[in-house]
Structure 1
Amino acid sequence: MSISSPQAEPLIGQRIKRSEDPRLLTGHGSYVDDIQLDNMLHLDILRSPYAHATIKAIDASAALTLPGVQAVYTGRELAAFLPPVPSGGGMEGFNAPEHHTLAIDRVRFVGEGVVAVLASDRYIARDARELIRVDYQPLAAVADPDKALQEDAPVLHDFIGNNVGYRMSLGNETDAALERSELLIRQRLVNQRVIPNAMETRGVVAQYRHWEQQLTVWLSTQAPHLMRREFSRFLDFPEHRLRVIAPDVGGAFGAKNNAYPEELLAAALALKLGCAVKWIEERQEHMLVTSHARAQTVDLTAGVDRDGRINALHFKLTADMGAYYHAITPVGPMMTAMLMTGAYRIPHAKADIVSVFTNTTPTDPYRGFGRAEAAYFIERTMDLIARELALDPVQLRRRNFIQPEQFPFATPSGHVHESGAYELCLQRALAKLDYAKMRREQQLLREQGRYLGIGIATHVWRAGFPSVPGGRGYVVGGWEKAIVSVDPGGKVRVVIGTSPHGQGIVTTTAQIVADTLGVPLTDIAVLHSDTDKVAQGNGTMGSRSLVVGGSAVLQAAQKVRDQALRLAAHMLRLEPARLTLVAGRFRCIDDPAINISFADVANRSFAGPVDLPPGMASCLEAAVIFEASNFVSCFGTHICVAEVEADTARVKLLRYIAVDDAGRLINPDIVEGQLHGGIVQGIGQALMEEAVYDEMAQPLSSSFLDYAIPRAIDLPLIEVEITETPSTVNPLGARGIGEAGTVGAPPAVVNAVVDALAPFGVKHLDMPLTPNKLWRAMQQGKS
């Protein structure tokens, strides 16, 4: 049988419009806040105005007298029947502080919950919150991780005795290689703290129906099945009676992959009181308490020879954890260290990691978690080396690239690049820009007093977490499940464990199944994001939905196709090898007039064993759990052309080129859309976004008045090109693409701006590259 594609024209690789969009674009989406239930109570949280303080007394008497208020809880009252919230700190050798749904006796960051109010509507709950009085004794606080490591720093968690979460080293020894290098490059690089901002803030509705002993949780989340496990453990409530539904989710970007205190508390109170409880996060709450991200600093030492060969790279990596661990907070710095050498053959590389607790919001994943930081550090390092050696940054990269014949390539830190084509992406990006011409134009403009810069970033990252031990007791469960079944009319139902929230997963899933079974896209329904309809899954994170989830879908659809082929051959009294499936019909290769429709075969499959081939079960259905053997290596080259205005120091992005490898391209529109969105977020980090704290650990960026994100007028036309170098670790050959923009954009933009300011002697500036920061650098250069 032919297995290339049973469609008259293959659907994989086509620009199929997203089936998810019309409902959302016409205002028919349904989000957590749209859920209204009878007798539902509303939860509100009184939060700490102090970064560090002891709680001396709480007086909620006035709140309790307000009509409509049903209950008020303190942290100590909740601790009598609730455990600490789940966190990612349970690894061997890690200091893992307990984090409760509400603070008990002591608060450790501004925004930490102190008192919970339940009322008949959200406005009464908010009014009651304002009536509660808390007597605090302020303590010294620390927001700077370097200061938090000092001996006299305020200690957040007394049982540790200092503020160190863990120390770890990854890689091999670098001292000898650094010593014999002809030149050492040293620089401190800061990947600043940022705030993931989705259009929809977090929200939860929890309802307990005692007559069914069923707890249902509607949650704005990326991973309903993971949340079911976490809620079950936290509540000591059986999973088979716990249903988690992710309705439409208005963006997540990694920040909704955690079981937060407020969400767990809503479920716990619904269970305790036997009712429905709703909590919807306000935007300022989101800025204060939903996970922040990045917050890593590297003191780098690179050992190079005069010809540009890089001998050794050492990172002293300091990672700000915030006040507590969230779901996988400790993993971020490890990811950075694993990918510290990027696309390059660096024989000696080592990262010494120290994770630090500070009186700030906990950090956790944000689009490109750990990998965006690694790409920024290594790509800035490459430009620093090129500048010091007076080499073209393109030449330096080419001199150190991992070569095609060297794959699979193991790095000193333990990551294995399974395959890659780094030179291809670089060459395509340079050609699209006309690099030599642009360098000539740059020189002419400089002579006219205009400051144009060209920034290059050849980024490497990894996607699709495999099911492998992560070290120190940490296990990554990277499997994903899919079920494909066919009804008697030949229509197909696909059940997936991934949870779409803007990625186009429903459309790409349908394309894979339609291409495999030869049925129209309109004959395919995709079910997801409800743990009662989708029994098992892991969710959407780490660019795994296609490379892991899509692979499970492909293999399940192939099994169904093989079942249908066997039955069609039985019905036509032919050998299966004589049949081909094209456009919904099984046809005899020798005599196309002998054929039968896929729908007729599906209908026959329900007839029972008497009408089926020997040993064949009734119904066309297959379930597959796919487990990747390794991370998928993802890569690309981004080039930014930026001008810094001489009079205002404002950055104008003139061109942005992204050439990324999709492995196997399923839907160009979706891939390009993913790249555009990620690049915009990366530009935001490079030029404007930063979560700032003062010396008392008070947040200065708690609203959009003082936390800027990109607008359409801030952006250039983004030029995208896709290459296809099939991955070796999944049957689709696909690579992750959803995080490529946030990985590649920050170093490309920063390299461009620093290059523009080279006439002023500027070698490095930390993000965000605000006009004020650039103006000061330009004035210093003039003087």
Structure 2
Amino acid sequence: MSRTYVGQSPVRNEDRRLLTGQAVFVDDVQLPGMLHAAFVRSDHAHALIRGIDASAALARTGVVAVVTAEDLGEYWQPGPLLVPPPPIEGIVFNQASQVPLAKDRVRHVGEAVVMVIAESRYLAEDALTDVIVDYEPLDPVVDLERALADDAPVIHPQLGTNLAAHVTQRHGDYEEARAKADLVITRRFHYDRGAAAAMENRCVAARWDPRAEELTIWDTTQAPIPIRNGLSRMLGLLESKVRVVAPFVGGGFGPKIMMFYPEEVLVPWIAMRLGRPVKWTEDRQENFFATTQERSQIHDAEIAFSSDGKILGIRDFFFHDTGAYDPYGLTVPINSQCTLLGPYDVPAYHSEFRAVFTNRTTVTPVRGAGRQHGVFVMERLLDIGARELGLDPSEIRRRNYLRKDVFPHTFQILFQDFAPLYYDSGNYAPALEAALDIVGRNTFRAEQAQARAEGRYLGLGVVSYVEGTGIGPYEGARVTVEPSGHVRVATGLGTQGQGHYTAFAQIVAEVLDVDITHVHVVTGDTREFGWGTGTFASRGAVVAGSACHEAALAVRKKVIETGARVLGALPDDVEIADGAVRVRSDPSRMMGFGELAGHANPLRGAVVPGTEPGLEATAYFGPDHGSTASGVHAMVVEVDAETAMVKILRYIVVHDCGKLINPVIVAGQVQGGVAHGIGNAFYEQLVYDDGGQLQNASFMDYLLPTAMDVPNVEMAHRETSAPLNPLGLKGVGEAGCIPTGAVFAQAIEDALPHLALEIREIPLSPNRLFALLRDAGPADRANAPELGGRAAAVAVAAD
């Protein structure tokens, strides 16, 4: 192989279409006779539905249909449980999945109650005001702890409880560890809700062809194949008669994994009933209410240390808000439970969570999927422990890292795939040292002291994390050399901006030694490739990329064998070079891939037994375990102690995602993740009142960080090869956002050592931080740590 693409950063194959407006998004789909859907959504967080009068809406000119739950007949059914937990002792799980339209009761503001179909979206929206829904309001359940009280209103009467799940996991003996401890720290931590806020909202379009009996659906989904499989069952169609296309999607971040949203179920159904194409596009306000959100958690955590700062054990009890329904089962809280352990050696661990139904929008994975909560709790406990023990925050981490010689490492608790939590590889300490070198371990404290002498408050935060990536079950790919000589790659994943069209092409182009611009990747179309799971959990490159690699190797073998036959040479004397096969001993005997593809598909003659026509292969990759990425984030901030405004001066990420396919794409993933994490740390919070009403459902009130708020991230990469896939890949999609809240909190505290400030909640905001600063008393500076030692002299000098 003369070409090297893996590890390089060629121009992205998809950018021309994106930058010139030629990329197709779902709302670009315009079909003859297309109708448009709009939804009447509940104004109440919790209420009984006593009646619906749609007569006035039906009488409006241009309205074609009005659909309620009663009109759906047998098609009305709760959605599937997407990730069912195994029947394991110690797991209590009460299922209540999303329904297509509310029947009898609404359970959160924004829940769909009535669907209106009209000749235009404008007419459909106007007709919504004609529909009269008779609600009988009920007391809502918003507070997590209050939800489990004996006298709390029950959201799902058939369950008789608001407890969605109760899970206890442990290894070692925490009580024994606690008894031996020199220091025990107990704290309560809050981590509140946020929105994914993708650039493109959800959109679904469907067309039914009665002659061919084929249904085509365009969907902004991260999982087109499961959508096809589920809808074919619900609609009584063969899977081969349902085509789901997920074209370019303007950001996924997790909520677009979910199967099935009401709109995804209803739009295809009504298109078949009416015999006309139907489309629904979510507006931004709907997105705040109807698209799933990040989770809210409350942790009561305790950590036991020896006098030298070694962790002896951790105990954590937490509440997890699953919202009105729980279609994703235990995935998010188990991620929190497992990721809390981080890169550290924790001899004893007792973790217990209660997932709780509330009258708030449903929770499913959002970038990080609960991991940032676990990291926040662990990193905050370590910061507090360092302060109490008089240790540098980085030193307490050094003393507790898992050693590089203990990998692979298995914790005796279950991960989200319900297999034991498994770290395939890792080497954590070098990443910490690299981050400190980039920050300037020998110069930063002097700069900080000088700034304090000038009345400016600089602070440094440095935290660690792990990210479980590359989980199964599997993905597949088909690689084909076409008569043009170009190569076509098809996989079942959808793409939401991760650079799949380029990264997969790089893998295949290197194996086949062809120009990357001659490799054409197709994703997210079930007609092109019908087996797989979806794009989530930082698994695309690891799982689908490995399948592309295996399929390309199989095609390479076919190219050599076919070339040997056509050129009259032995296979061992045939090589691939620059999109052609040639005989090593006589390079003048050669043939381009296009011509060779013709020979592989002859118009006459027999197929030799044991062979098959064409230069094509399909391969699948399903890892036994995921790949564990890791890293260190460092942040330098300047805090205005009077206004509580925080300016991020520097942000450093040292990340290990194994082999880098495309460094520029990786950098983009990290930069975007940090932007998401900064928003989650200091700007973005979904605020509900006691009545379950969302108070800031617009970008006027819900603050997103802008380009002015997000610095250019300084990056360094370490490559600890993953042993469980052929390219040594690990995922990177969520790395930027997982530890951001923790590093933000540590940096702010470090900037204000003269205050007894201890941040135990995320997200903050200038308002909330102002209140914390106002209430903080003077600090005991005796144990204030420096980057390389004690900081008492610097703290005094700052006065």
Residue identity in the other structure for 2:109: V
The SS at the match of 2:736 is helix
Aligned to 1:128: 127
Aligned to 2:792: none
Cα gap change, 1:611 to 1:593, in 2 (>3 Å): farther
Aligned to 1:69: 63
Aligned to 1:452: 458
Q: Do the aligned residues in 2 keep the contact of 1:754 with 1:765 (CA within 8 Å)? A: no
Residue identity in the other structure for 2:78: P
Aligned to 2:9: 15
Supply the distance in 2 between the matched residues of 1:666 and 1:45 (Cα, whole angstroms). 43
The SS at the match of 1:230 is helix
Deviation by residue 1:461-498 (Cα, 9 ceiling, x = unmatched): 111112xxxxxxxxxxx210101111234221111111
Q: How much identity, in percent, do the aligned residues show?
A: 39
Aligned to 1:604: 599
Cα gap change, 1:129 to 1:296, in 2 (>3 Å): same
The SS at the match of 2:761 is coil
Is 1:314 the counterpart of 2:308? The answer is no
Supply the distance in 1 between the matched residues of 2:609 and 2:529 (Cα, whole angstroms). 31
Deviation by residue 1:145-178 (Cα, 9 ceiling, x = unmatched): 1111222222111122221001111222422212
Greater CA deviation, 515-524 or 98-107? 98-107
Is 1:689 the counterpart of 2:689? The answer is no
> How big is the shift at 1:64?
1.7
> How big is the shift at 1:313?
0.9
> How big is the shift at 1:141?
0.7
Supply the distance in 2 between the matched residues of 1:276 and 1:548 (Cα, whole angstroms). 35
Alignment of 1:324-343 (within 5 A): 324-326=325-327, 328-343=328-343
Cα gap change, 1:218 to 1:365, in 2 (>3 Å): same
> How big is the shift at 1:98?
4.8
Q: Do the aligned residues in 2 keep the contact of 1:567 with 1:612 (CA within 8 Å)? A: no
Supply the distance in 2 between the matched residues of 1:455 and 1:701 (Cα, whole angstroms). 30
Greater CA deviation, 373-382 or 135-144? 373-382
The SS at the match of 2:430 is helix
Aligned to 2:768: 773
Cα gap change, 1:600 to 1:120, in 2 (>3 Å): closer
Is 1:102 the counterpart of 2:101? The answer is yes
Supply the distance in 2 between the matched residues of 1:232 and 1:115 (Cα, whole angstroms). 23
> How big is the shift at 1:420?
0.8
Aligned to 1:153: 152
> How big is the shift at 1:238?
2.5
The SS at the match of 2:758 is coil
> How big is the shift at 1:459?
1.1
- How many residue pairs were aligned? 765
> How big is the shift at 1:517?
0.4
Aligned to 2:382: 382
Residue identity in the other structure for 2:189: L
Aligned to 2:177: 177
Cα gap change, 1:435 to 1:235, in 2 (>3 Å): farther
Cα gap change, 1:647 to 1:535, in 2 (>3 Å): same
Deviation by residue 1:496-521 (Cα, 9 ceiling, x = unmatched): 11111200001011111110001111
Q: Do the aligned residues in 1 keep the contact of 2:247 with 2:495 (CA within 8 Å)? A: no
Cα gap change, 1:81 to 1:553, in 2 (>3 Å): closer
> How big is the shift at 1:79?
4.3
Cα gap change, 1:584 to 1:116, in 2 (>3 Å): closer
Aligned to 1:668: 663
Aligned to 1:651: 646
Instruction: Could you tell me which runs of 5 or more consecutive residues in structure 2 were left unpaired when the two chains were aligned.
Output: 414-419, 779-799
Supply the distance in 2 between the matched residues of 1:608 and 1:182 (Cα, whole angstroms). 81
Greater CA deviation, 748-757 or 729-738? 748-757
> How big is the shift at 1:228?
0.8
Aligned partner (choices 46, 54, 59) of residue 53 of structure 2: 59
Is 1:421 the counterpart of 2:432? The answer is no
Q: Do the aligned residues in 1 keep the contact of 2:485 with 2:579 (CA within 8 Å)? A: no
Aligned to 1:293: 294
Q: Do the aligned residues in 1 keep the contact of 2:483 with 2:593 (CA within 8 Å)? A: no
Cα gap change, 1:591 to 1:239, in 2 (>3 Å): closer
Greater CA deviation, 770-779 or 706-715? 770-779
Aligned to 1:561: 556
Aligned to 1:722: 717
Aligned to 1:137: 136
The SS at the match of 2:308 is coil
Residue identity in the other structure for 2:523: H
Aligned to 2:205: 205
Supply the distance in 2 between the matched residues of 1:756 and 1:236 (Cα, whole angstroms). 62
The SS at the match of 1:737 is coil
Q: Do the aligned residues in 2 keep the contact of 1:321 with 1:330 (CA within 8 Å)? A: no
The SS at the match of 1:117 is strand
> How big is the shift at 1:742?
1.2
Deviation by residue 1:196-218 (Cα, 9 ceiling, x = unmatched): 11111111111212111111111
The SS at the match of 1:156 is coil
Q: Do the aligned residues in 2 keep the contact of 1:88 with 1:330 (CA within 8 Å)? A: no
> How big is the shift at 1:690?
0.7
Aligned to 1:196: 196
Q: Do the aligned residues in 2 keep the contact of 1:483 with 1:623 (CA within 8 Å)? A: yes
Greater CA deviation, 585-594 or 40-49? 585-594
Greater CA deviation, 343-352 or 373-382? 373-382
Cα gap change, 1:577 to 1:384, in 2 (>3 Å): farther
The SS at the match of 2:498 is coil
Deviation by residue 1:4-52 (Cα, 9 ceiling, x = unmatched): x332xx1111111111112111222222222122222211111111111
The SS at the match of 1:411 is strand
Q: Do the aligned residues in 2 keep the contact of 1:329 with 1:365 (CA within 8 Å)? A: no
Supply the distance in 1 between the matched residues of 2:591 and 2:232 (Cα, whole angstroms). 49
Residue identity in the other structure for 1:57: G
Deviation by residue 1:303-349 (Cα, 9 ceiling, x = unmatched): 111101001011112110001123x2531111221222100011111
> How big is the shift at 1:610?
6.1
Supply the distance in 1 between the matched residues of 2:647 and 2:96 (Cα, whole angstroms). 45
Greater CA deviation, 141-150 or 82-91? 82-91
Residue identity in the other structure for 1:318: F
> How big is the shift at 1:445?
2.8
| TM-score normalised per structure 2 | 0.92
Aligned to 2:485: 490
Cα gap change, 1:32 to 1:615, in 2 (>3 Å): closer
Aligned to 1:350: 350
The SS at the match of 1:193 is coil
Supply the distance in 1 between the matched residues of 2:197 and 2:644 (Cα, whole angstroms). 27
Deviation by residue 1:391-420 (Cα, 9 ceiling, x = unmatched): 111111111111111100112423111001
Aligned to 2:276: 275
Greater CA deviation, 683-692 or 243-252? 243-252
> How big is the shift at 1:614?
7.5
The SS at the match of 1:733 is coil
Cα gap change, 1:383 to 1:626, in 2 (>3 Å): same
> How big is the shift at 1:90?
4.8
Supply the distance in 2 between the matched residues of 1:465 and 1:350 (Cα, whole angstroms). 25
Aligned to 2:728: 733
Cα gap change, 1:644 to 1:611, in 2 (>3 Å): same
Cα gap change, 1:616 to 1:103, in 2 (>3 Å): closer
Cα gap change, 1:70 to 1:556, in 2 (>3 Å): same
Supply the distance in 2 between the matched residues of 1:565 and 1:81 (Cα, whole angstroms). 53
Alignment of 1:37-56 (within 5 A): 37-56=31-50
Supply the distance in 1 between the matched residues of 2:641 and 2:97 (Cα, whole angstroms). 51
Supply the distance in 1 between the matched residues of 2:591 and 2:243 (Cα, whole angstroms). 42
Instruction: Could you tell me which runs of 5 or more consecutive residues in structure 1 were left unpaired when the two chains were aligned.
Output: 467-477
> How big is the shift at 1:447?
4.2
Aligned partner (choices 442, 445, 458) of residue 436 of structure 1: 442
Supply the distance in 1 between the matched residues of 2:720 and 2:577 (Cα, whole angstroms). 27
Cα gap change, 1:81 to 1:612, in 2 (>3 Å): closer
Greater CA deviation, 621-630 or 607-616? 607-616
| TM-score normalised per structure 1 | 0.94
Cα gap change, 1:452 to 1:283, in 2 (>3 Å): same
> How big is the shift at 1:599?
4.2
> How big is the shift at 1:782?
4.9
The SS at the match of 1:712 is coil
> How big is the shift at 1:360?
0.2
Aligned to 2:509: 514
Supply the distance in 2 between the matched residues of 1:596 and 1:131 (Cα, whole angstroms). 70
Cα gap change, 1:615 to 1:247, in 2 (>3 Å): closer
Supply the distance in 2 between the matched residues of 1:330 and 1:510 (Cα, whole angstroms). 35
Greater CA deviation, 726-735 or 371-380? 371-380
Supply the distance in 2 between the matched residues of 1:397 and 1:272 (Cα, whole angstroms). 61
The SS at the match of 1:84 is coil
Greater CA deviation, 631-640 or 271-280? 271-280
